[in-house]
């Protein structure tokens, strides 16, 4: 058993020189089974055919989808001579496809899920979209929304352009990820045309680092005044509701159901709180009722916003009248749980239920299949040592090195340009478990060729963690996708440890990552339930995207801190390691031994 000494920054840097002793498997991505509930799908249920609108996939994309549906259980596609579906086949305009291919040459053909949902979006359906992390949901959404016609009305003889699509995301980094994708495509506008100003295509409305809304709001107001509002507005629900509270005409004027064409909610299960699914007949009925009242009293900004935008639909649905024109509603997540779908479909009144398409890709239990190249480990950390769970499987073979370029060959430089803010941190006691940070720093130094992501609990201080990691000699930086101030693989840059929290990493796409480190359990209160399982899936899903492989390592305390949440079962305390094991079991994953510490 290898014990963990206190790594000084020198020791960590020395350790880093022996980088890449482990490496990552590169798998060809294979989609899981796709299930489309609509009138044409061979998998559709007769009941759903009556309830749901038809999805008129053209013959090629239907053939493609059918091939996906016929995959064998082990994920091997049956051989088919059907030509591959192209983005044009899905209905995307040629200039958009050209810009896409210029900006993203690796994106040659749509993924299975994109082949199905892009046409559904273009046909103005309301869409429930669930597929594995990294299957291209958000990216495909961008393509579909860019393809939409700009809504223009005539007001007193003057042409008025309107915001066509609203994308709601849980945090600012995901908003900037969308914006950067769009910016790359705008800049790749082809045929020698001057690209349009980015602000007329897309804008972001989120609170900035100083928690101010002003810069985004000023730009938006100016572009509305100059009759060039963005085609796509990407915002957090909280930012929009804050604006609404200051000016209750804003949403009515600029996000009116009569001029908006689509509302998309990315990470919908994170943004819309619903009751956990439990049997109401059981003894916890009282607790459920309390919870229900709490959610009704505090519905959260996303529900509040949708209740404003979809008021005409809600009223028509309640009165059984025909549904007035309203923007299509698209809800997307890798973990779109039944209770959320039931709430939105049955209770919210936001949908046109005759016009809904439900697209479900790999289910939770198949996550391990989609993310075949992923290895999950749990490390137990105490004052004396770092070790694997006794039950962890031996690593099948250490991961081959091909998936990631090796790190810069130059000797590592001392860390620089990090985000630590203050010597004052040295004066105050750390909110972090120092053994855990040391274990993370050592793992990073020994195993990460280019870039890893550390995910902290939602309320943890990122700047404090960065400062402490820098003290250990680690090139740690905040995961700020607006500035993206790191340059992975450059000869002047050490491997980078990006630091974010459970609240700021959902949905982000960082292709350069090989490792994700999770600090503690996915639930702050130590609960093992559907929500903590989903949270873990989203954390793990930052790697293994598009078959790239990767490692997910959860660090939990083994000493008395392992029982800090005080959970007991039948008088027996349950350790954090055991809880983490249960989370992995529920997604059919067995932790593998992480060789560095055993």
Minimum CB distance to ligand ATP smaller for 55 or for 540: 540
Here the tokens at position 484 are 């993206």
Least distance (Å) between residue 542 CB and ligand ATP: 7
- Residue closest to ligand ATP when measured from CB atoms: 136
- The length of the chain in residues reads 598
Return all residues near 408 (Cβ < 8 A) that are at least 6 apart.
Answer: 489, 490, 491, 492, 493, 494
Which long-range contacts link 180-183 to residues 24+ away (Cβ below 8 Å)?
A: 180/481, 180/484, 181/139, 181/142, 182/142, 182/146, 182/232
Least distance (Å) between residue 62 CB and ligand ATP: 18
Q: In 3D, which of 577, 367, 125 has the Cα closest to residue 567?
A: 577
Minimum CB distance to ligand ATP smaller for 135 or for 164: 135
Least distance (Å) between residue 364 CB and ligand ATP: 12
Is 135 in contact with 110 (CB distance < 8 Å)? no
Helix, strand, coil % in the chain, rounded to nearest 5: 35, 15, 50
Least distance (Å) between residue 383 CB and ligand ATP: 36
332 vs 154: CA distance, rounded Å: 33
Q: Match 């997604």 to its residue by tokens.
A: 587
Least distance (Å) between residue 414 CB and ligand ATP: 31
575 binds ligand ATP (CB under 6 A): no
- Using CB under 6 A, pick the residue from 32, 110, 301, 526 that binds ligand ATP: 110
305 vs 327: CA distance, rounded Å: 13
- Using CB under 6 A, pick the residue from 507, 522, 526, 549 that binds ligand ATP: 507
Residues binding ligand ATP: number (CB under 6 A): 20
Write each residue from 278 to 317 as x if it is in contact with ligand ATP (CB under 6 A), else as -, in one continuous string: ----------------------------------------
Residues 323-352 that bind ligand ATP (CB under 6 A): 334
545 binds ligand ATP (CB under 6 A): yes
78 binds ligand ATP (CB under 6 A): no
| Binding segment toward ligand ATP, per CB under 6 A, in 152-160, 319-327, 407-415, 540-548 | 540-548
264 vs 305: CA distance, rounded Å: 12
Is 439 in contact with 379 (CB distance < 8 Å)? yes
Q: In 3D, which of 579, 499, 515 has the Cα closest to residue 553?
A: 515
| Binding segment toward ligand ATP, per CB under 6 A, in 6-14, 541-549, 561-569, 585-593 | 541-549
Minimum CB distance to ligand ATP smaller for 136 or for 407: 136
Residues 367-426 that bind ligand ATP (CB under 6 A): none
Least distance (Å) between residue 181 CB and ligand ATP: 7
199 vs 230: CA distance, rounded Å: 6
Q: In 3D, which of 175, 248, 183, 257 has the Cα closest to residue 216?
A: 175
575 vs 564: CA distance, rounded Å: 9
Residues 111-170 that bind ligand ATP (CB under 6 A): 111, 114, 133-139
Where do contacts with ligand ATP occur on this chain (CB under 6 A)? 104, 106-107, 110-111, 114, 133-139, 334, 507, 509, 511, 541, 545-546
């Amino acid at each position: 058993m290898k014990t963990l000494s206190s790594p000084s920054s020198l020791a960590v840097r020395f350790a880093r020189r022996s980088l890449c002793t482990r490496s990552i498997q590169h798998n060809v991505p294979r989609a899981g089974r796709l299930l489309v509930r609509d009138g044409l799908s061979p998998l559709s249920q007769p009941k759903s055919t009556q309830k749901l609108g038809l999805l008129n996939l053209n013959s090629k994309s239907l053939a493609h989808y059918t091939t996906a549906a016929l995959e064998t259980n082990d994920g091997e596609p049956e051989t088919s001579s059907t030509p591959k579906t192209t983005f044009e086949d899905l209905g995307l305009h040629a200039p958009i496809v050209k810009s896409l291919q210029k900006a993203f040459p690796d994106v040659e053909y749509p993924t299975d899920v994109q082949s199905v949902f892009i046409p559904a979006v273009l046909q103005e359906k309301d869409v429930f979209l669930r597929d594995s992390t990294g299957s291209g949901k958000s990216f495909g959404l961008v393509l579909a929304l860019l393809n939409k016609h700009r809504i223009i009305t005539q007001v007193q003889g003057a042409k008025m352009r309107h915001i066509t699509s609203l994308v709601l995301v849980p945090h600012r980094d995901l908003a900037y990820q969308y914006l950067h994708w769009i910016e790359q495509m705008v800049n790749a506008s082809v045929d020698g045309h001057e690209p349009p100003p980015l602000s007329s295509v897309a804008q972001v409305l989120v609170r900035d680092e100083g928690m101010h809304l002003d810069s985004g709001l000023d730009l938006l107001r100016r572009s509305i005044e100059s009759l060039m509002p963005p085609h796509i507005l990407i915002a957090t629900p909280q930012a929009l509701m804050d604006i609404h509270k200051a000016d209750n005409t804003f949403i009515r004027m600029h996000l009116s159901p009569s001029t908006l064409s689509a509302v998309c909610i990315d990470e919908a299960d994170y943004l819309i709180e619903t009751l956990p699914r439990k049997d109401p007949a059981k003894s916890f009925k009282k607790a459920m009722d309390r919870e229900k009242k709490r959610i009704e009293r505090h519905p959260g900004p996303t529900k509040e916003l949708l209740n404003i935008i979809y008021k005409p639909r809600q009223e028509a649905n309640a009165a059984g009248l025909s549904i007035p024109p309203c923007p299509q509603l698209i809800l997307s997540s890798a973990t779109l749980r039944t209770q959320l779908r039931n709430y939105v479909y049955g209770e919210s009144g936001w949908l046109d239920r005759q016009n809904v398409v439900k697209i479900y890709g790999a289910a939770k239990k198949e996550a391990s299949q989609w993310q075949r190249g992923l290895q999950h480990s749990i490390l137990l950390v105490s004052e004396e040592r770092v070790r694997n769970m006794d039950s962890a499987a031996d690593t099948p073979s250490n991961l081959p090195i091909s998936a990631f370029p090796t790190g810069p060959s130059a000797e590592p430089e001392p860390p620089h340009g990090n985000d630590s803010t203050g010597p004052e941190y040295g004066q105050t006691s750390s909110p972090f478990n120092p053994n855990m940070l040391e274990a993370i720093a050592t793992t990073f130094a020994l195993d990460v060729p280019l870039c890893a992501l550390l995910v902290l609990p939602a309320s943890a201080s990122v700047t404090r963690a960065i400062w402490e990691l820098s003290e250990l000699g680690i090139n740690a930086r905040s995961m700020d996708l607006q500035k993206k101030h790191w340059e992975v693989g450059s000869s002047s840059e050490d491997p980078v440890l990006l630091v974010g929290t459970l609240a700021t990493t959902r949905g982000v796409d960082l292709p350069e990552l090989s490792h994700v480190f999770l600090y503690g359990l996915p639930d702050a209160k130590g609960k093992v339930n559907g929500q903590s399982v989903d949270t873990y899936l989203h954390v793990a899903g930052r790697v293994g995207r598009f078959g790239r492989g990767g490692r997910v390592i959860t660090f939990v305390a083994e000493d008395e801190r392992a029982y800090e949440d005080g959970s007991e079962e039948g008088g027996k305390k349950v350790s954090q390691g055991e809880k983490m094991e249960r989370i992995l079991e529920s997604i059919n994953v067995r932790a593998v031994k992480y060789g560095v510490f055993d």
